[in-house]
Amino acid sequence: MIELCDCRKTFISKHAQAPVVALDGVSLTIQTQQFVCVLGPSGCGKTTLLKAIAGLLVLDSGEVRIDGAHVAGPGSDRAMVFQNFALLPWADVISNVAFGLELRGAPKAEREAKAHALIVAVGLSGFERHFPRQLSGGMQQRVGLARALAVDPDILLMDEPFGSVDEQTRRLLQEDLLALLDRTRKTVVFVTHSVDEAARLGDRVVLMTPRPGRVQEEVDVPLPRPRPTDVELNPIFLERKEYLWQRLQAMQTR
Amino acid sequence: MLGLDRRRLSLPPDVQRWGLRLISIGVFALGWQLLAHRMHSLLLPSFSETLTALLSLLVTPELWQALWVSNQAMVLGFGAAVFVGILVGFLMARVRAAEQFLDPYLNILLVIPMGALVPILIMATGLGLFTRVLIVFSFAVVVITVNTRAGLQTIESGWIEMAQSFGATERQLWRQILLPGALPAILTGLRLGMARAISAKLYVEQIQLALGIGRLNQDIQGGFDSANLYATIAVVVGEAVILIQALKWIERRATPWTEPSVVE
Protein backbone atom coordinates (compact mmCIF):
# COMPACT_ATOMS: atom_id res chain seq x y z
CA MET A 1 0.00 0.00 0.00
CA ILE A 2 1.26 3.44 -0.97
CA GLU A 3 0.24 6.37 1.21
CA LEU A 4 0.86 10.04 0.47
CA CYS A 5 0.21 12.20 3.52
CA ASP A 6 -0.29 15.93 2.99
CA CYS A 7 2.57 16.19 0.48
CA ARG A 8 3.80 19.62 -0.53
CA LYS A 9 6.47 20.44 -3.08
CA THR A 10 7.45 23.81 -4.56
CA PHE A 11 9.95 24.64 -7.27
CA ILE A 12 11.81 27.87 -7.85
CA SER A 13 11.10 28.96 -11.41
CA LYS A 14 13.17 31.44 -13.41
CA HIS A 15 10.08 32.72 -15.18
CA ALA A 16 7.60 33.05 -12.33
CA GLN A 17 7.97 35.53 -9.48
CA ALA A 18 6.70 33.24 -6.77
CA PRO A 19 7.73 29.59 -6.37
CA VAL A 20 5.58 27.17 -8.36
CA VAL A 21 3.52 24.92 -6.13
CA ALA A 22 3.64 21.52 -7.81
CA LEU A 23 1.99 19.59 -5.01
CA ASP A 24 -0.22 21.25 -2.42
CA GLY A 25 -1.50 19.11 0.42
CA VAL A 26 -1.79 15.95 -1.65
CA SER A 27 -3.04 12.93 0.24
CA LEU A 28 -3.70 9.67 -1.52
CA THR A 29 -3.88 5.98 -0.72
CA ILE A 30 -3.15 3.34 -3.33
CA GLN A 31 -3.95 -0.27 -2.48
CA THR A 32 -1.54 -3.07 -3.29
CA GLN A 33 -2.04 -4.50 -6.80
CA GLN A 34 -4.30 -1.64 -7.75
CA PHE A 35 -3.86 0.10 -11.11
CA VAL A 36 -4.24 3.83 -10.48
CA CYS A 37 -4.17 6.40 -13.26
CA VAL A 38 -3.25 9.98 -12.40
CA LEU A 39 -5.03 12.26 -14.86
CA GLY A 40 -4.80 16.00 -15.31
CA PRO A 41 -3.75 18.81 -17.62
CA SER A 42 -0.05 19.53 -18.04
CA GLY A 43 1.54 21.34 -15.12
CA CYS A 44 -0.76 19.84 -12.52
CA GLY A 45 2.03 18.04 -10.65
CA LYS A 46 1.33 14.52 -11.94
CA THR A 47 4.98 13.83 -12.64
CA THR A 48 6.05 15.41 -9.35
CA LEU A 49 3.67 13.07 -7.56
CA LEU A 50 5.20 10.10 -9.34
CA LYS A 51 8.75 11.21 -8.55
CA ALA A 52 7.81 11.65 -4.91
CA ILE A 53 6.71 8.02 -4.79
CA ALA A 54 9.88 7.02 -6.66
CA GLY A 55 11.95 8.80 -4.00
CA LEU A 56 13.61 11.00 -6.60
CA LEU A 57 12.82 14.28 -4.86
CA VAL A 58 12.71 15.77 -1.40
CA LEU A 59 9.29 17.02 -0.32
CA ASP A 60 8.90 20.41 1.37
CA SER A 61 6.55 18.78 3.84
CA GLY A 62 4.45 15.68 4.15
CA GLU A 63 5.47 12.08 3.68
CA VAL A 64 5.26 9.10 1.35
CA ARG A 65 4.95 5.69 2.98
CA ILE A 66 5.07 2.29 1.36
CA ASP A 67 3.61 -0.52 3.45
CA GLY A 68 3.98 1.78 6.42
CA ALA A 69 7.68 2.55 5.86
CA HIS A 70 8.87 6.11 5.17
CA VAL A 71 10.24 6.64 1.65
CA ALA A 72 13.63 8.38 1.80
CA GLY A 73 14.94 7.51 -1.67
CA PRO A 74 14.68 5.06 -4.55
CA GLY A 75 14.25 1.42 -3.60
CA SER A 76 14.28 -2.01 -5.17
CA ASP A 77 10.51 -2.33 -4.57
CA ARG A 78 9.85 0.32 -7.24
CA ALA A 79 10.77 0.77 -10.91
CA MET A 80 9.98 3.61 -13.26
CA VAL A 81 9.05 3.87 -16.93
CA PHE A 82 9.82 7.24 -18.49
CA GLN A 83 7.97 9.38 -20.99
CA ASN A 84 11.02 9.88 -23.22
CA PHE A 85 12.13 6.26 -22.64
CA ALA A 86 15.52 7.29 -21.11
CA LEU A 87 17.33 4.47 -22.88
CA LEU A 88 21.12 4.56 -22.96
CA PRO A 89 22.11 5.10 -26.61
CA TRP A 90 25.49 3.37 -26.21
CA ALA A 91 24.00 0.16 -24.86
CA ASP A 92 22.20 -2.44 -26.97
CA VAL A 93 18.69 -3.62 -26.14
CA ILE A 94 19.74 -6.48 -23.87
CA SER A 95 22.14 -4.27 -21.88
CA ASN A 96 19.48 -1.59 -21.54
CA VAL A 97 16.97 -4.13 -20.22
CA ALA A 98 19.58 -5.55 -17.85
CA PHE A 99 20.67 -2.10 -16.63
CA GLY A 100 18.75 -2.11 -13.35
CA LEU A 101 19.97 -5.63 -12.59
CA GLU A 102 23.54 -4.60 -13.38
CA LEU A 103 23.33 -1.70 -10.92
CA ARG A 104 22.12 -4.13 -8.31
CA GLY A 105 25.16 -6.32 -8.90
CA ALA A 106 23.51 -9.33 -10.55
CA PRO A 107 26.03 -11.62 -12.33
CA LYS A 108 26.18 -11.23 -16.10
CA ALA A 109 24.74 -14.65 -17.00
CA GLU A 110 21.81 -14.22 -14.63
CA ARG A 111 20.90 -10.73 -15.76
CA GLU A 112 21.18 -11.58 -19.45
CA ALA A 113 18.92 -14.59 -19.00
CA LYS A 114 16.37 -12.48 -17.16
CA ALA A 115 16.64 -9.66 -19.69
CA HIS A 116 16.23 -12.08 -22.55
CA ALA A 117 13.05 -13.51 -21.06
CA LEU A 118 11.59 -10.01 -20.72
CA ILE A 119 12.63 -9.02 -24.23
CA VAL A 120 10.60 -12.01 -25.42
CA ALA A 121 7.72 -11.03 -23.13
CA VAL A 122 7.48 -7.53 -24.57
CA GLY A 123 7.67 -8.89 -28.12
CA LEU A 124 11.18 -7.80 -29.09
CA SER A 125 12.95 -11.12 -29.55
CA GLY A 126 15.56 -10.85 -32.28
CA PHE A 127 16.37 -7.24 -31.38
CA GLU A 128 18.69 -8.04 -28.45
CA ARG A 129 21.77 -6.60 -30.15
CA HIS A 130 20.12 -3.56 -31.70
CA PHE A 131 20.87 -0.07 -30.45
CA PRO A 132 17.96 2.13 -29.30
CA ARG A 133 18.27 4.50 -32.26
CA GLN A 134 17.60 1.59 -34.59
CA LEU A 135 14.18 1.06 -33.01
CA SER A 136 10.88 2.89 -33.45
CA GLY A 137 9.39 4.87 -30.54
CA GLY A 138 6.98 2.09 -29.64
CA MET A 139 9.78 -0.48 -29.62
CA GLN A 140 11.95 1.80 -27.51
CA GLN A 141 9.23 2.03 -24.90
CA ARG A 142 8.91 -1.75 -24.90
CA VAL A 143 12.59 -1.77 -23.92
CA GLY A 144 11.85 0.78 -21.20
CA LEU A 145 9.02 -1.39 -19.89
CA ALA A 146 11.16 -4.54 -19.98
CA ARG A 147 13.93 -2.72 -18.08
CA ALA A 148 11.49 -1.78 -15.32
CA LEU A 149 9.98 -5.28 -15.12
CA ALA A 150 13.44 -6.91 -15.12
CA VAL A 151 14.10 -5.83 -11.53
CA ASP A 152 10.78 -7.45 -10.57
CA PRO A 153 9.37 -4.49 -8.63
CA ASP A 154 6.20 -4.57 -6.55
CA ILE A 155 5.33 -1.10 -7.78
CA LEU A 156 5.50 0.12 -11.36
CA LEU A 157 5.65 3.89 -11.78
CA MET A 158 4.81 5.03 -15.30
CA ASP A 159 5.21 8.64 -16.40
CA GLU A 160 3.10 9.22 -19.52
CA PRO A 161 4.84 6.19 -21.03
CA PHE A 162 2.78 6.09 -24.22
CA GLY A 163 2.49 9.85 -24.67
CA SER A 164 4.94 10.18 -27.52
CA VAL A 165 3.88 7.36 -29.83
CA ASP A 166 1.16 7.34 -32.48
CA GLU A 167 -2.41 6.28 -31.71
CA GLN A 168 -2.15 2.80 -33.21
CA THR A 169 1.09 1.97 -31.42
CA ARG A 170 -0.35 3.35 -28.21
CA ARG A 171 -3.32 0.97 -28.37
CA LEU A 172 -1.04 -1.99 -28.97
CA LEU A 173 1.23 -0.98 -26.09
CA GLN A 174 -1.78 -0.56 -23.79
CA GLU A 175 -3.08 -4.02 -24.63
CA ASP A 176 0.34 -5.61 -24.18
CA LEU A 177 0.85 -3.83 -20.86
CA LEU A 178 -2.50 -5.11 -19.57
CA ALA A 179 -1.67 -8.64 -20.72
CA LEU A 180 1.73 -8.51 -18.99
CA LEU A 181 0.19 -7.23 -15.78
CA ASP A 182 -2.50 -9.92 -15.80
CA ARG A 183 0.33 -12.44 -15.53
CA THR A 184 2.19 -10.69 -12.72
CA ARG A 185 -0.11 -8.46 -10.72
CA LYS A 186 1.65 -5.31 -9.58
CA THR A 187 0.72 -2.01 -8.05
CA VAL A 188 0.77 0.51 -10.89
CA VAL A 189 0.76 4.30 -10.76
CA PHE A 190 0.24 5.50 -14.31
CA VAL A 191 0.43 9.19 -15.18
CA THR A 192 -1.43 10.26 -18.31
CA HIS A 193 -3.23 13.20 -19.85
CA SER A 194 -5.45 10.98 -21.96
CA VAL A 195 -8.97 10.43 -20.65
CA ASP A 196 -9.38 7.37 -22.83
CA GLU A 197 -6.16 5.83 -21.54
CA ALA A 198 -7.03 6.49 -17.90
CA ALA A 199 -10.48 4.88 -18.18
CA ARG A 200 -9.18 2.01 -20.28
CA LEU A 201 -6.32 0.98 -18.00
CA GLY A 202 -7.11 2.08 -14.46
CA ASP A 203 -9.07 0.55 -11.61
CA ARG A 204 -9.23 4.06 -10.25
CA VAL A 205 -8.55 7.48 -11.76
CA VAL A 206 -7.12 10.31 -9.65
CA LEU A 207 -7.98 13.70 -11.13
CA MET A 208 -5.53 16.49 -10.42
CA THR A 209 -5.89 20.27 -10.86
CA PRO A 210 -2.99 22.55 -11.74
CA ARG A 211 -1.50 25.58 -9.92
CA PRO A 212 -1.42 24.56 -7.17
CA GLY A 213 -1.32 20.80 -7.86
CA ARG A 214 -4.10 19.19 -5.87
CA VAL A 215 -6.11 16.00 -5.97
CA GLN A 216 -9.57 17.08 -7.06
CA GLU A 217 -11.45 13.84 -7.23
CA GLU A 218 -11.05 10.07 -7.33
CA VAL A 219 -13.15 8.06 -9.77
CA ASP A 220 -13.52 4.27 -9.67
CA VAL A 221 -13.67 2.34 -12.93
CA PRO A 222 -15.45 -0.92 -12.02
CA LEU A 223 -14.57 -2.89 -15.13
CA PRO A 224 -13.57 -6.58 -14.96
CA ARG A 225 -10.00 -7.87 -15.26
CA PRO A 226 -8.65 -9.04 -17.59
CA ARG A 227 -10.03 -6.07 -19.47
CA PRO A 228 -11.87 -7.10 -22.64
CA THR A 229 -10.33 -5.72 -25.82
CA ASP A 230 -13.69 -4.28 -26.90
CA VAL A 231 -13.93 -2.25 -23.69
CA GLU A 232 -14.89 0.81 -25.73
CA LEU A 233 -18.35 -0.74 -26.22
CA ASN A 234 -18.88 -1.14 -22.47
CA PRO A 235 -21.38 1.41 -21.08
CA ILE A 236 -19.44 1.82 -17.82
CA PHE A 237 -16.29 2.70 -19.76
CA LEU A 238 -18.18 5.18 -21.94
CA GLU A 239 -19.93 6.78 -19.00
CA ARG A 240 -16.68 7.17 -16.95
CA LYS A 241 -14.83 8.50 -19.93
CA GLU A 242 -17.50 11.11 -20.60
CA TYR A 243 -17.59 12.08 -16.92
CA LEU A 244 -13.79 12.47 -16.69
CA TRP A 245 -13.79 14.44 -19.91
CA GLN A 246 -16.34 16.89 -18.53
CA ARG A 247 -14.45 17.31 -15.25
CA LEU A 248 -11.26 18.01 -17.18
CA GLN A 249 -12.99 20.56 -19.40
CA ALA A 250 -14.51 22.33 -16.42
CA MET A 251 -11.02 22.51 -14.94
CA GLN A 252 -9.53 24.14 -18.01
CA THR A 253 -12.26 26.71 -18.62
CA ARG A 254 -12.32 27.69 -14.97
CA MET B 1 14.14 13.87 -48.09
CA LEU B 2 13.94 14.43 -51.82
CA GLY B 3 16.12 17.51 -51.67
CA LEU B 4 18.88 15.60 -49.90
CA ASP B 5 18.81 12.66 -52.25
CA ARG B 6 22.11 13.04 -54.09
CA ARG B 7 22.67 11.39 -57.40
CA ARG B 8 24.86 8.30 -57.36
CA LEU B 9 26.64 6.40 -60.08
CA SER B 10 25.48 2.81 -60.35
CA LEU B 11 28.68 1.37 -58.86
CA PRO B 12 29.24 -0.38 -55.54
CA PRO B 13 29.72 2.44 -52.96
CA ASP B 14 33.27 1.37 -51.97
CA VAL B 15 34.43 1.09 -55.58
CA GLN B 16 32.94 4.47 -56.35
CA ARG B 17 34.47 6.16 -53.32
CA TRP B 18 37.99 4.85 -53.81
CA GLY B 19 37.80 5.17 -57.58
CA LEU B 20 36.85 8.82 -57.37
CA ARG B 21 39.54 9.50 -54.76
CA LEU B 22 42.21 7.98 -57.00
CA ILE B 23 40.96 9.90 -60.04
CA SER B 24 40.98 13.09 -57.97
CA ILE B 25 44.62 12.54 -56.96
CA GLY B 26 45.48 11.65 -60.58
CA VAL B 27 43.93 14.84 -61.94
CA PHE B 28 45.76 16.89 -59.30
CA ALA B 29 49.12 15.25 -60.10
CA LEU B 30 48.63 15.68 -63.83
CA GLY B 31 47.66 19.34 -63.45
CA TRP B 32 50.72 19.96 -61.29
CA GLN B 33 53.01 18.19 -63.75
CA LEU B 34 51.67 20.20 -66.72
CA LEU B 35 51.83 23.49 -64.84
CA ALA B 36 55.44 22.86 -63.73
CA HIS B 37 56.49 21.99 -67.27
CA ARG B 38 54.85 25.10 -68.62
CA MET B 39 56.37 27.46 -66.05
CA HIS B 40 59.74 25.68 -66.19
CA SER B 41 60.88 27.42 -63.01
CA LEU B 42 63.52 26.51 -60.47
CA LEU B 43 61.03 27.35 -57.74
CA LEU B 44 58.27 24.98 -58.86
CA PRO B 45 59.35 21.35 -59.08
CA SER B 46 57.24 18.99 -61.16
CA PHE B 47 55.13 16.30 -59.52
CA SER B 48 57.46 13.54 -60.68
CA GLU B 49 60.54 15.34 -59.36
CA THR B 50 58.85 15.85 -56.02
CA LEU B 51 57.81 12.21 -55.88
CA THR B 52 61.36 11.07 -56.62
CA ALA B 53 62.72 13.44 -53.98
CA LEU B 54 60.15 12.13 -51.49
CA LEU B 55 61.11 8.52 -52.10
CA SER B 56 64.80 9.20 -51.61
CA LEU B 57 64.06 11.38 -48.59
CA LEU B 58 62.15 8.56 -46.95
CA VAL B 59 65.30 6.42 -46.82
CA THR B 60 67.62 9.08 -45.38
CA PRO B 61 68.34 8.89 -41.64
CA GLU B 62 68.23 12.70 -41.44
CA LEU B 63 64.48 12.69 -42.08
CA TRP B 64 63.75 10.18 -39.33
CA GLN B 65 66.01 12.00 -36.90
CA ALA B 66 64.23 15.25 -37.71
CA LEU B 67 60.83 13.57 -37.30
CA TRP B 68 61.93 12.15 -33.96
CA VAL B 69 62.97 15.59 -32.70
CA SER B 70 59.72 17.13 -33.95
CA ASN B 71 57.54 14.49 -32.42
CA GLN B 72 59.09 14.51 -28.96
CA ALA B 73 57.34 17.80 -28.29
CA MET B 74 54.19 16.45 -29.90
CA VAL B 75 54.00 13.28 -27.79
CA LEU B 76 54.78 15.02 -24.50
CA GLY B 77 52.69 18.13 -25.16
CA PHE B 78 49.66 16.35 -26.56
CA GLY B 79 49.83 13.63 -23.90
CA ALA B 80 49.83 16.23 -21.15
CA ALA B 81 47.01 18.12 -22.89
CA VAL B 82 44.83 14.99 -23.00
CA PHE B 83 45.39 14.29 -19.33
CA VAL B 84 44.94 17.85 -18.09
CA GLY B 85 42.18 18.74 -20.56
CA ILE B 86 39.92 15.83 -19.61
CA LEU B 87 40.57 16.35 -15.90
CA VAL B 88 39.90 20.09 -15.98
CA GLY B 89 36.88 19.58 -18.26
CA PHE B 90 35.33 17.22 -15.70
CA LEU B 91 36.18 19.60 -12.87
CA MET B 92 34.63 22.59 -14.65
CA ALA B 93 31.47 20.66 -15.50
CA ARG B 94 30.93 19.44 -11.94
CA VAL B 95 32.27 22.25 -9.74
CA ARG B 96 30.75 25.66 -10.29
CA ALA B 97 33.63 27.53 -8.62
CA ALA B 98 36.18 25.83 -10.89
CA GLU B 99 34.14 26.84 -13.91
CA GLN B 100 34.00 30.47 -12.83
CA PHE B 101 37.68 30.54 -11.90
CA LEU B 102 39.04 28.97 -15.08
CA ASP B 103 36.64 30.14 -17.76
CA PRO B 104 38.40 33.47 -18.56
CA TYR B 105 41.74 31.74 -19.21
CA LEU B 106 40.06 29.14 -21.35
CA ASN B 107 38.43 31.83 -23.45
CA ILE B 108 41.72 33.67 -23.92
CA LEU B 109 43.55 30.51 -24.92
CA LEU B 110 40.74 29.64 -27.31
CA VAL B 111 40.91 32.85 -29.33
CA ILE B 112 44.58 33.82 -29.10
CA PRO B 113 46.47 33.35 -32.40
CA MET B 114 49.71 31.37 -32.38
CA GLY B 115 51.67 34.36 -33.60
CA ALA B 116 50.75 36.22 -30.43
CA LEU B 117 51.35 33.55 -27.81
CA VAL B 118 54.38 31.72 -29.17
CA PRO B 119 56.91 34.62 -29.00
CA ILE B 120 55.92 35.28 -25.39
CA LEU B 121 56.40 31.64 -24.42
CA ILE B 122 59.76 31.48 -26.20
CA MET B 123 60.91 34.65 -24.49
CA ALA B 124 59.77 33.43 -21.09
CA THR B 125 61.01 29.85 -21.23
CA GLY B 126 63.80 29.74 -23.80
CA LEU B 127 64.32 27.61 -26.86
CA GLY B 128 64.37 24.11 -25.42
CA LEU B 129 62.16 21.07 -25.59
CA PHE B 130 60.16 22.35 -22.62
CA THR B 131 59.07 25.42 -24.58
CA ARG B 132 57.89 23.38 -27.53
CA VAL B 133 56.04 20.99 -25.23
CA LEU B 134 54.41 23.97 -23.55
CA ILE B 135 53.33 25.46 -26.86
CA VAL B 136 51.83 22.21 -28.18
CA PHE B 137 50.15 21.72 -24.81
CA SER B 138 48.68 25.24 -24.67
CA PHE B 139 47.04 24.97 -28.05
CA ALA B 140 45.73 21.42 -27.66
CA VAL B 141 44.47 21.59 -24.09
CA VAL B 142 41.76 24.21 -24.68
CA VAL B 143 39.59 22.32 -27.14
CA ILE B 144 39.95 19.11 -25.15
CA THR B 145 38.81 20.92 -22.00
CA VAL B 146 35.94 22.70 -23.73
CA ASN B 147 34.69 19.53 -25.41
CA THR B 148 34.91 17.43 -22.25
CA ARG B 149 32.96 20.06 -20.35
CA ALA B 150 30.34 20.32 -23.10
CA GLY B 151 30.08 16.53 -23.28
CA LEU B 152 29.23 16.34 -19.59
CA GLN B 153 26.94 19.36 -19.58
CA THR B 154 24.85 18.08 -22.46
CA ILE B 155 24.23 14.66 -20.90
CA GLU B 156 20.48 14.14 -20.77
CA SER B 157 19.17 14.63 -17.25
CA GLY B 158 16.72 11.83 -18.02
CA TRP B 159 19.57 9.28 -18.07
CA ILE B 160 20.79 10.42 -14.66
CA GLU B 161 17.28 10.34 -13.23
CA MET B 162 16.69 6.89 -14.69
CA ALA B 163 19.91 5.55 -13.14
CA GLN B 164 19.00 7.12 -9.79
CA SER B 165 15.55 5.57 -9.91
CA PHE B 166 17.27 2.18 -10.10
CA GLY B 167 19.33 3.15 -7.05
CA ALA B 168 22.64 4.02 -8.77
CA THR B 169 25.44 5.10 -6.42
CA GLU B 170 27.61 8.14 -7.26
CA ARG B 171 30.33 5.78 -8.51
CA GLN B 172 27.91 3.88 -10.74
CA LEU B 173 26.57 7.16 -12.08
CA TRP B 174 30.07 8.16 -13.23
CA ARG B 175 30.95 4.78 -14.61
CA GLN B 176 27.61 3.97 -16.29
CA ILE B 177 26.22 7.34 -17.35
CA LEU B 178 28.62 10.30 -17.21
CA LEU B 179 31.69 8.67 -18.79
CA PRO B 180 29.99 6.92 -21.71
CA GLY B 181 27.66 9.90 -22.16
CA ALA B 182 30.57 12.33 -22.50
CA LEU B 183 32.80 10.00 -24.52
CA PRO B 184 31.74 11.10 -28.04
CA ALA B 185 32.40 14.76 -27.23
CA ILE B 186 35.71 13.94 -25.51
CA LEU B 187 36.92 12.00 -28.56
CA THR B 188 35.92 14.85 -30.86
CA GLY B 189 37.89 17.15 -28.54
CA LEU B 190 40.95 14.90 -28.87
CA ARG B 191 40.75 15.03 -32.65
CA LEU B 192 40.37 18.82 -32.73
CA GLY B 193 43.12 19.12 -30.10
CA MET B 194 45.42 17.00 -32.25
CA ALA B 195 44.81 19.27 -35.24
CA ARG B 196 45.71 22.31 -33.14
CA ALA B 197 48.75 20.55 -31.67
CA ILE B 198 50.04 19.75 -35.15
CA SER B 199 49.68 23.30 -36.39
CA ALA B 200 51.31 24.66 -33.22
CA LYS B 201 54.23 22.28 -33.61
CA LEU B 202 54.69 23.17 -37.29
CA TYR B 203 54.36 26.88 -36.62
CA VAL B 204 57.09 26.79 -33.99
CA GLU B 205 59.47 24.69 -36.03
CA GLN B 206 58.97 26.27 -39.42
CA ILE B 207 58.71 29.90 -38.42
CA GLN B 208 60.26 30.32 -34.99
CA LEU B 209 62.88 27.81 -33.93
CA ALA B 210 64.24 25.87 -36.93
CA LEU B 211 64.31 22.49 -35.27
CA GLY B 212 63.51 19.00 -36.41
CA ILE B 213 61.58 19.00 -39.66
CA GLY B 214 61.61 22.80 -39.68
CA ARG B 215 65.43 22.77 -39.55
CA LEU B 216 65.63 20.25 -42.35
CA ASN B 217 63.25 22.40 -44.28
CA GLN B 218 65.25 25.57 -43.86
CA ASP B 219 68.49 23.84 -44.88
CA ILE B 220 66.81 22.72 -48.08
CA GLN B 221 65.24 26.11 -48.64
CA GLY B 222 68.67 27.71 -48.38
CA GLY B 223 69.90 25.45 -51.17
CA PHE B 224 66.99 26.28 -53.51
CA ASP B 225 66.33 22.57 -53.70
CA SER B 226 62.65 22.99 -54.40
CA ALA B 227 61.83 19.33 -55.04
CA ASN B 228 63.22 18.35 -51.62
CA LEU B 229 61.40 21.21 -49.95
CA TYR B 230 58.12 20.02 -51.41
CA ALA B 231 58.96 16.49 -50.34
CA THR B 232 59.51 17.48 -46.69
CA ILE B 233 56.24 19.38 -46.74
CA ALA B 234 54.56 16.25 -48.11
CA VAL B 235 56.01 14.25 -45.21
CA VAL B 236 54.66 16.78 -42.70
CA VAL B 237 51.21 16.83 -44.30
CA GLY B 238 51.25 13.03 -44.55
CA GLU B 239 51.95 12.68 -40.83
CA ALA B 240 49.12 15.07 -39.98
CA VAL B 241 46.65 13.21 -42.19
CA ILE B 242 47.63 9.85 -40.70
CA LEU B 243 47.27 11.10 -37.12
CA ILE B 244 43.89 12.72 -37.71
CA GLN B 245 42.56 9.70 -39.61
CA ALA B 246 43.76 7.40 -36.83
CA LEU B 247 41.81 9.44 -34.27
CA LYS B 248 38.75 9.42 -36.51
CA TRP B 249 39.02 5.65 -36.72
CA ILE B 250 39.27 5.36 -32.94
CA GLU B 251 36.24 7.65 -32.62
CA ARG B 252 34.18 5.45 -34.91
CA ARG B 253 35.26 2.25 -33.19
CA ALA B 254 34.79 3.52 -29.64
CA THR B 255 31.41 5.17 -30.15
CA PRO B 256 29.55 3.11 -32.74
CA TRP B 257 26.17 4.33 -31.46
CA THR B 258 26.76 7.85 -32.78
CA GLU B 259 26.87 6.59 -36.36
CA PRO B 260 23.65 7.21 -38.24
CA SER B 261 21.90 3.96 -38.89
CA VAL B 262 18.65 2.90 -40.45
CA VAL B 263 15.89 0.67 -39.13
CA GLU B 264 16.39 -2.76 -40.61
Is the Cβ of A79 closer than 8 Å to some Cβ of chain B?
Answer: yes
CATH architecture for the domain at A1-77+156-164+187-254: 3-Layer(aba) Sandwich (3.40)
Is the Cβ of A78 closer than 8 Å to some Cβ of chain B?
Answer: yes
Closest alpha carbon within chain A to B179? A90
Which CA distances in Å does A199 have to A138, A155, A183, A234, B152? 21, 20, 21, 11, 41
CA distance, residue A104 to nearest chain B CA (Å): 8
Q: What is the mean pLDDT of each run of 10 residues along chain B (264 residues)?
A: 61 85 92 88 84 88 85 92 95 88 89 84 85 91 94 91 94 93 93 92 77 74 77 88 92 80 40
CA distance, residue A209 to nearest chain B CA (Å): 25
Q: What is the pLDDT of residue B262?
A: 42
Predicted structure pTM score: 0.81
Interface of B with A in 157-176 (CB under 8 A): 158-159, 161-168, 172, 176
pLDDT, tens only, A169-219: 999 999 999 999 988 889 999 999 899 999 999 999 999 988 888 999 999
Which CA distances in Å does A239 have to A203, A204, A206, A234? 15, 14, 16, 9
pLDDT, tens only, A93-132: 999 999 999 999 999 999 999 999 999 999 999 999 999 9
Residue pair B82/B90 in contact (Cβ under 8 Å)? The answer is no
Is the Cβ of A29 closer than 8 Å to some Cβ of chain B?
Answer: no
CB neighbours (10 Å) of residue A61? 12
CA distance, residue A147 to nearest chain B CA (Å): 10
Q: What is the pLDDT of residue A157?
A: 96
Q: What is the pLDDT of residue B4?
A: 60
Domains along the sequence of chain B with CATH: 61-255 (1.10.3720.10)
When computed from its CA atoms, the radius of gyration of chain B, rounded to whole angstroms, is: 23
> Where exactly are the structural domains of chain A?
1-77+156-164+187-254
